[in-house]
Structures are given as C-alpha cells and as structure tokens.
Amino acid sequence: MTIRLDEGAGEQMHALVERLYPLCRSITGDGVRATLDIVGEYIPLRVHEVPTGTQVLDWTVPQEWNIRDAYVADSAGNRVIDFAASSLHVLGYSVPVSRTMPLAELRDHLHTLPDQPALVPYRTSYYKPAWGFCLAQETLDALPDGEYEVCVDSTLADGHLTYAEHVVPGQVPDEVIVSCHVCHPSLANDNLAGIAVATFLARALAETTPYYTYRFIFAPGTVGAITWLARNKERVDQIKHGLVLACAGDSGQLTYKQSRRGDAEIDRVLQHVLKASERPHRVTEFTPYGYDERQYCSPGFNLGVGSLSRTPYAEYPEYHTSGDNPDFVFPAAMADTLAVCREAFAVLDRNRRYLNLSPYGEPQLGRRGLYDALGGRSDTKEAQLAMLWVLNLSDGEHSLLDVAERSGLPFDTVAAAADALRGAGLIKA
C-alpha cells in the first residue's frame, strides 16, 4: 500500500486546528455538530444522532447541553469573565443562571490554577447539575470585592448525542478502527490535533486501495465510544486492529500505549515501525486510564486497540488549560504523527502469513528469474537474503513481520521479496 499525501499536510492540519479551536465542544450539543460539519468538508461523514435516555451498555445517553453566552460582569457592566473570549471560561455543562451576588459567594463557583496563575483550567460537570466559571488565578486576584452580575445562557434538555464515521473500503471486510474524541472545547493538542491527523489519514487512505477496511470514529470521549460500541456490539468481531489518536501535535516524542492484550498485531506493528524509523519514542503498557482505548479494550470486547500520542495526557503543564492553544501544536509534529500512522498501516496491510509451495530444500531461484529481477538494485544482496528468509519461514505460522523482526531486514524489503516469490508461484497466502 503506497500512500501519497499532499505537500504541506502539516500546515493544512494546523489550519484545521485553528479553525476548530474557537468552537465550544462538549459530550453533546451543537459544538460537536459544528465540528463534524467542518471535518465533513474534508472527508464525507455519516453522522449519527442517539436520543437522550438511550441505554448504551451500562450508561445512558445524557441530556444535550448547549450554550449561547456566559459572563461575569462587575458593577460597571464590564465583563471580567467572558465566554465569548474563550469557551474554557465556562464550566462544561453549566446549568442556566442569572443572578447578582457578592464576590465572596461567587468564589465558590470559580475554578483556577493557583500553581499556574496565568492559565485558565478546563473543567466540567457532566453528570452533576452545577454552574461555574474558569479563569486565571491572576485575574481572580485582581477582582475587587463587590457585587457581580452572573449569567449562563445555556440549555440542558432532552436531545441527542452526536458522533460520526468515515469508512475507507478495503479489499476485505475486516476492519481497522481509528478513533478520536470530539468533546473538548478550546484545546488544540487534546483533542484537535488528533482530529486533524485522523482526517488527513482518512484522506490519504482514500487515495489507495487498502487491504483492510478502515473505519474512522469521531465521537465524544467515554460515553461516545461506549455508545458506538453498544450500537455495533454484534459486529465487533470484524474489528481486527485499532488505534486511538490523541495529543498528536505537541513537540514531544511519540508515545505508543499498548492494547490490553499487549501482544496484539497493532502493538507489534507500531513498536516495529517506531524502532525501525529510529525516531525518539516511548512504548508504555496498557492502563485502564486515558482515552477511549480503555473502552475498546474493556474485557468484554478486548479489542486489539492501542493509542498513539506525542506527550501523553497529563504529562505536559499545558494539559487541560488555556496553554493548550494553537501555538502549542506544530505542523511538523502533526505531520510526523501522520507519517507514523501511514507507515504502520502500510505494514499492517501487507503483513501476511505464507506457505512455501516448494518446502523440501531451497528452490532454484535463478531459473525462475528471481535473481535477474533484482539486477541493478542497490540492495541486491539484502533482497536476495530476504527471499531466503521468506521461503524458510513461510510455514503458515510466521508472518512477514515475524520475518522482518527475526532477520533484522526492513519490512519493505521482506514484503517485496514475498511479492516476487508469490509471483513466481513459490508461496501462497
């Protein structure tokens, strides 16, 4: 599988992040729909609306939250906290409020980061009715005592949970899922960079004829992934591999978090690709905390789904703060994350087990023109060795990735050798 990507993909992904950044997203609501509308300009999406009250596994689809405006104004009418300036300024899922109160009472509803006084935190209250505002500690410290007008113009009512899918058809119905969460407000690395990389990965795959069918899932975190699993429970056996994308655009090294299985094919492929590329990287074991890999890897499903990020969640100071803005993510970093996904899926798509059709002794390669076909290649000796390795390990038990790892040869060289041997009728899948 050869993937061609438009030049400047990093800059295009960063432009998408900047465009999505102002929108107020949550686990439900028009912010999610507006986000999916924009993504839908890049790739066709099938959007699903699941009604409030729908039972999804052990969860229930919550009421839908939408917000039009919110502010705290001083006695002169100046907005000292303003939702219009940043969607982070409002506690997610805040219930409506319109009151005037003294600062001493208002403080119980204000959220800051005393250790990071210049940053605004991201806070939510999805399942407990509440209202509140988030602001920088230095802004709070500058507020004088007095009366303040408080307004949250929001609605919390029966509606829908919204998620979307994009499918790239493959040669077989077996699927690879790529999942990213679409529920965070103005946070560029967590989650917009993942959305951007997933979008451009889907565009790149659409220019090919992949072996697997690739299903991209854009859903709110936790309850959205659970909703998708509940609605697709009868067909999850088709899912052979998967990858969750998050925190995909910061300047840190790449981090791959293994699936619950730890030895799933996607785990081996990502580790092989990262190691072979000699990129700085880290591989971590599965934990049931993080993003939606924990839903796909819950014991009842136990899918082979890992997670790819750069600096993982909660490991950078800007995590879930206003510091996670478009300046915190970089075109080159997103392009690098995208490149690793492309490389990994290229390996995954070509990783097969073969059976040697001439297993008694080494078959004569010269009379079949296999050595002549290598003439002029700079890696002729390596390619010849790859043929011998593929022949020797094509016993129906070893995959091409097994061959590459055992021989120390590049996967591309091993796959090319397998193609040549198959063309000569010496092996079959």
Q: Looking at residue 365, which CATH number applies to its domain?
A: 1.10.10.10
DSSP string, 256-325: EEPPSSSS-HHHHHHHHHHHHHT--EEEE---S-SSTHHHHTSTTT---EEEEESSPTTSSTTTTBTTSS
Domain count, the chain: 3
Whether residue 232 sits in one domain with residue 115: no
The tokens for 99 are 């009151």
Say if residue 358 is in the same domain as residue 333.
Answer: no
Alpha-carbon distance 296 to 98, whole Å? 41
Whether residue 141 is found in the same domain as residue 277: no
Range of the domain at 142: 67-157
Query: Are residues 292 and 360 located together in one domain of the fold?
Result: no
As given in the structure block, the two tokens for residue 274 are 């990262």
Does residue 4 lie in a domain region? Answer: no
Q: Does 103 share its domain with 170?
A: no
Residues 6+ away with beta carbon under 8 Å from 348: 176, 212, 241, 265, 266, 269
Alpha carbons 243 and 180: distance in angstroms, whole number: 9
297 and 280 inside one domain: yes
Residues 37 and 168 in one domain: yes
CA atoms 282, 286, 291, 295: torsion sign = positive
Decide if 330 is inside a domain.
yes
Backbone angles phi and psi of 301, in degrees to 5: -100, -50
Euclidean distance between CA atoms 108 and 288, whole angstroms: 32
For 36, what's the count of Cα atoms within 13 Å in the CB-facing half-sphere?
Answer: 29
Indicate if 41 and 89 belong to the same structural domain. Answer: no
For residue 246, being part of any structural domain is answered with: yes
Are 39 and 199 within 8 A, CB to CB? yes
H runs (alpha helix) in 53-193: 103-106, 137-141
Pairing of strands 79-82, 97-102: unpaired
Residues 34 and 107 in one domain: no
Q: How high is the pLDDT of residue 4?
A: 42
**Statement to judge: residues 87 and 216 lie in one domain:** no
Residues 243 and 319 in one domain: yes
pTM assigned to the model: 0.95
Domain boundary, last residue among 350, 374, 404: 350
**Residue 24 domain-assigned (yes or no):** yes
Q: What pLDDT, on the 0 to 100 scale, is given for residue 152?
A: 98
Q: Is the separation of the CB atoms in 406 and 393 below 8 Å? A: yes
Indicate whether 301 belongs to any domain: yes
Distance between CA atoms of residues 349 and 329, nearest Å? 30
In order, the DSSP letters of 20-83 are: HTTS---SSSHHHHHHHHHHTTTS--EEEEEETT-EETTEE---EEEEEEEEEE-TTS-EEEET
Neighbours of 428 (CB within 10 A): 13
Predicted confidence at residue 224, as pLDDT, reads: 98
Among 157, 183, 214, residue at a domain's last position: 157
Q: Quick count: other Cβ atoms within 10 Å of Cβ 376?
A: 6
Whether 1 is covered by a domain: the verdict is no
**pLDDT number for residue 381:** 84
Q: Per-residue confidence of the chain (429 residues) as pLDDT tens digits?
A: 334 445 599 999 999 999 999 999 999 999 999 999 999 999 999 999 999 999 999 999 999 999 999 999 999 999 999 999 999 999 999 999 999 999 999 999 999 999 999 999 999 999 999 999 999 999 999 999 999 999 999 999 999 999 999 999 999 999 999 999 999 999 999 999 999 999 999 999 999 999 999 999 999 999 999 999 999 999 999 999 999 999 999 999 999 999 999 999 999 999 999 999 999 999 999 999 999 999 999 999 999 999 999 999 999 999 999 999 999 999 999 999 999 999 999 999 999 999 999 999 999 888 888 876 555 555 678 888 999 999 999 999 999 999 999 999 999 999 999 999 999 999 999
Token pair of 263 as six digits:
């030895």
Q: Is residue 295 located within the same domain as residue 419? A: no
pLDDT attached to residue 231: 98
Q: The domain that contains 84 carries what CATH number?
A: 3.50.30.90
Which of 114, 139, 157 finishes a domain?
Answer: 157
